[in-house]
Amino acid sequence: MTASYDVAAVGNAIVDVIAPAQDNFLAQEDLSKGAMMLIDDQRAGHLYSRMAAGVEASGGSAGNTVAGVASLGGRAAYIGKIAEDGLGKVFLHDIRAQGVHFDPTPLTGGPGTGRCLINVTPDGQRTMCTCLGAASLLTPADVDPEIVRNAAIVYLEGYLFDPDDARHAFAKAARIARDAGRKIALTLSDAFVVERHRPALLAFIDSEIDIVFANEAEVTALFQTTDFDTAASLLAARVRTACVTRGDRGSVIYTDGAAEFVPAAPARQVLDTTGAGDQYAAGVMFGLARGLAPATCGRLGSLAAAEVIDHYGPRPQTSLKSLATEAGLI
Amino acid sequence: MTASYDVAAVGNAIVDVIAPAQDNFLAQEDLSKGAMMLIDDQRAGHLYSRMAAGVEASGGSAGNTVAGVASLGGRAAYIGKIAEDGLGKVFLHDIRAQGVHFDPTPLTGGPGTGRCLINVTPDGQRTMCTCLGAASLLTPADVDPEIVRNAAIVYLEGYLFDPDDARHAFAKAARIARDAGRKIALTLSDAFVVERHRPALLAFIDSEIDIVFANEAEVTALFQTTDFDTAASLLAARVRTACVTRGDRGSVIYTDGAAEFVPAAPARQVLDTTGAGDQYAAGVMFGLARGLAPATCGRLGSLAAAEVIDHYGPRPQTSLKSLATEAGLI
């Protein structure tokens, strides 16, 4: 059966609060640069009171990715949990305005929509503190089988390995996708997520996953080695497609073990790296869903990542379809 | 008595929702390009559902101006009305994080914090639809005499001529400032505001105002002429200091009738003109409060305006103090 969607993603529905910060602020607040930390409401209130003036923008790793797929001209759907509040309305509006299908049952009477406090240091690196709120209450009931069954690739966000119910939602999505003969992709999301769930992640990859996205810190954490090549080879041996990113040194896409080295695309400036990995995944999966060669998929990923790092905010502000067409990639 | 603040501003406390739009969208939605329209909750809901994905950022004309004054290294205070809700917290956080004094009594049980839907067309022009909410319920009780009395310049936002109670709050602020021997500044804000309140604005200027800010459309509307020079001269004859802006053609500052022509400062790019006039006022008033010459005040205004038009969002993202120091202005 032809897929109605190129990509359907399951992720934490999060609104970002993005503000500039100095390195000494990270030290004072005991924040690990470049990482994502989970924080509770009280800590979020404290941290927000000390952050600089910011902007609010819809985020969430997988949400950013499907927005990128749509910007490339792809058909995308999203599964996640928002609350019936102001931030939830913002999230819903923005993802639909990008052309992504999202039809949630908002949470009432519980915590508010998830938010992520992002401090961007002058080197463009983002340090993220996430108060999950409603996002962490995603349950298997939120996974619409019709959506999953009709997507060429189902994309799962590693951050959702933290809440129990969400992990069950993952399992449900994976089972439906498998039964429908679809591809299942997973992003490892964060090195600390990998540390927290290493055995479960490896078992999940072995049993369910066709495509894995990981950056250098995540893949080396997964295989507990400091050597990138060793870690990447170990991952490549376990899945059909392994996409490993290395920041401005580009990425490697392994297909049945064969490596394709992909250069990073030049960015006008590096202002805020928030969403770079998410957009890379968008470009690669759009290409894979359309049956393009790995080298082209990788270049689409690099192009999408370069667009998002030259401005604040985790989603494309320019049509990726136009950029990819100009570059002769689609 | 020495002033504790360079500028204290009274304005509509508004959070902006900023999104890109095409010109035909403005036509479809019957929006007058470059203007500010007041809309009710229902219309705001309709319009938001049709807008592109956006970012949320604290705004409000006078709020932007005091943020600019603080960014220049000045001491600033703000008076405005927010609600006890999520957007209100965003507004409060951002203006305090910029170093501005703001100690409001948030509204409970009434409308939410004001918001402004801003559609930015490819030419960088912003078209604004404002749902005032709590902002329009500013009353004289919200004007803290201690703040007004201790500010070298009290700055009043013309948009507040629309709600009755807010106009009374203006009158109170003006009376306190006058009694304390402070300067009183007014921005005309918008040509349609001028059309709605022309006689009252002229009477208010004659009786209370020392410094007026106006752009070309506003000053010509005030004197019902199409000739800029005629309108500017008429304004200059009525107030001590008249600052009239002409977009990329710079501005003219009249001091006791003597004209000082000020060039616009070059911007890296024109992405979003939202807040350009607000930042111009910030630069000029910072200079006036510090006793700088009109030419220098004007150049500070141009420099602040140039910073804000090269990015989305109505407030400075770079330290204006650093930029002004580099330019040798302070």
Residues B61 and B187: beta-carbon distance below 8 Å: yes
For the cut 90, the answer to whether the pLDDT of residue B139 exceeds it is yes
Contact partners, residue B158, CB within 8 Å, separation at least 6 = B186, B187, B188, B189, B190, B193, B194, B201
For the cut 90, the answer to whether the pLDDT of residue B77 exceeds it is yes
Q: Where are the beta strands (DSSP E) in B80-210?
A: 114-120, 126-131, 151-157, 183-187
Amino acid at residue number A241: T
Whole-number Å distance between alpha carbons of A84 and A133 = 12
For the cut 80, the answer to whether the pLDDT of residue A47 exceeds it is yes
The pLDDT score that the predictor gives to residue B271 is 82
Nearest to A53 among B52, B55, B98 (CB): B98
For the cut 80, the answer to whether the pLDDT of residue B1 exceeds it is no
Q: What is the mean pLDDT of chain B?
A: 95
For the cut 80, the answer to whether the pLDDT of residue A205 exceeds it is yes
Amino acid at residue number A281: A
Q: What is the mean pLDDT of residues B125-144?
A: 95
Judging contacts by C-beta atoms under 8 Å, the chain A residues touching residue B67 are 53
The residue whose two tokens read 């902007």 is: A55
Q: How confident is the model at residue A296 (pLDDT cuts 50, 70, 90)?
A: very high
Q: What are φ and ψ of residue A26, in 5° steps?
A: -60, -40
The pLDDT score that the predictor gives to residue A1 is 72
Nearest to A97 among B52, B90, B93 (CB): B52
Q: What is the mean pLDDT of residues A43-69?
A: 96
Residues A277 and A289: beta-carbon distance below 8 Å: no
Whole-number Å distance between alpha carbons of A105 and A103 = 7
Q: How confident is the model at residue A128 (pLDDT cuts 50, 70, 90)?
A: very high
Whole-number Å distance between alpha carbons of B204 and B221 = 16
The pLDDT score that the predictor gives to residue B269 is 83
Establish whether this prediction's ipTM goes over 0.90. Answer: no
Residues B307/B310/B316/B317 CA torsion (nearest 10 deg): -120
The pLDDT score that the predictor gives to residue B304 is 97
Question: What is the CB-side half-sphere exposure of residue A51 using CA atoms within 13 A?
Answer: 27
Q: What is the mean pLDDT of residues A301-308?
A: 96
Q: In what order do the strands lie in the sheet with B5-10?
A: B76-79, B5-10, B151-157, B183-187, B211-215, B241-245, B251-255, B258-262
Contact partners, residue B273, CB within 8 Å, separation at least 6 = B124, B125, B126, B309
Quote the distance between the C-alpha of residue A199 and its chain's center: 21
A35 vs B184, more confident: B184
Q: How many Cβ pairs closer than 8 A exist between chain A and B?
A: 63
Sign of CA dihedral B307, B193, B207, B253: positive
Q: Which residue of B has its CA nearest to A115?
A: B86
Verify whether the Cβ–Cβ distance A97 to B19 is below 8 Å: yes
Verify whether the Cβ–Cβ distance A53 to B94 is below 8 Å: yes
Report the DSSP pairing between strands B5-10 and B151-157. Answer: parallel
Residues B114 and B60: beta-carbon distance below 8 Å: yes
Q: What are φ and ψ of residue B148, in 5° steps?
A: -65, -45
Q: Does A19 touch chain B (CB under 8 A)?
A: yes
Whole-number Å distance between alpha carbons of A249 and B171 = 62
The pLDDT score that the predictor gives to residue B242 is 98
Contact partners, residue B132, CB within 8 Å, separation at least 6 = B12, B14, B38, B111, B114, B162, B163
The pLDDT score that the predictor gives to residue A280 is 98
For the cut 90, the answer to whether the pLDDT of residue A324 exceeds it is yes
Structure tokens at A329: 């990639």
The pLDDT score that the predictor gives to residue A272 is 84
For the cut 90, the answer to whether the pLDDT of residue A116 exceeds it is yes
**B156-172 tens-digit pLDDT:** 999 999 888 999 999 99
Q: Does B20 touch chain A (CB under 8 A)?
A: yes
The pLDDT score that the predictor gives to residue B128 is 95
The pLDDT score that the predictor gives to residue B224 is 97
Verify whether the Cβ–Cβ distance B90 to A56 is below 8 Å: yes
A241 vs A41, more confident: A241
The pLDDT score that the predictor gives to residue A312 is 81
Nearest to B51 among A85, A87, A97 (CB): A97
Q: What is the mean pLDDT of residues A151-155?
A: 98
The pLDDT score that the predictor gives to residue B71 is 98
The pLDDT score that the predictor gives to residue B29 is 96
Whole-number Å distance between alpha carbons of A174 and A155 = 9
The residue whose two tokens read 């505001």 is: B193
- Topology at the third CATH level for domain B5-14+60-112+135-326: UDP-N-acetylmuramoyl-L-alanine:D-glutamate ligase (3.40.1190)
For the cut 90, the answer to whether the pLDDT of residue B46 exceeds it is yes
* Full 3-state SS string of A156-212: EEHHHHCCHHHHHHHHHHHHHHHHCCCEEEEECCCHHHHHHHHHHHHHHHHHHCCEE
Domain ranges of chain B: 5-14+60-112+135-326
Nearest to A55 among B48, B55, B87 (CB): B55
Q: How confident is the model at residue A251 (pLDDT cuts 50, 70, 90)?
A: very high
Total length of chain B = 330
Q: How confident is the model at residue B285 (pLDDT cuts 50, 70, 90)?
A: very high
For the cut 90, the answer to whether the pLDDT of residue A269 exceeds it is no
Q: What are φ and ψ of residue B233, in 5° steps?
A: -65, -40
Q: What is the mean pLDDT of residues A187-210?
A: 96
Instruction: Render B15-49 in DSSP notation, one character per residue.
Output: EEEEEE--HHHHHHTT--TT-EEE--HHHHHHHHH
Q: What is the mean pLDDT of chain A?
A: 95
Whole-number Å distance between alpha carbons of A218 and A182 = 25
Q: What percent of chain B has pLDDT over 70?
A: 100
- Topology at the third CATH level for domain A5-13+60-108+138-326: UDP-N-acetylmuramoyl-L-alanine:D-glutamate ligase (3.40.1190)
The pLDDT score that the predictor gives to residue B64 is 98
Verify whether the Cβ–Cβ distance B53 to A94 is below 8 Å: yes
Q: Does B2 touch chain A (CB under 8 A)?
A: no
Residues 41-60, chain B, touching A (beta carbon < 8 A): 48-49, 51-58
For A265, the enclosing helix (H) or strand (E) is none
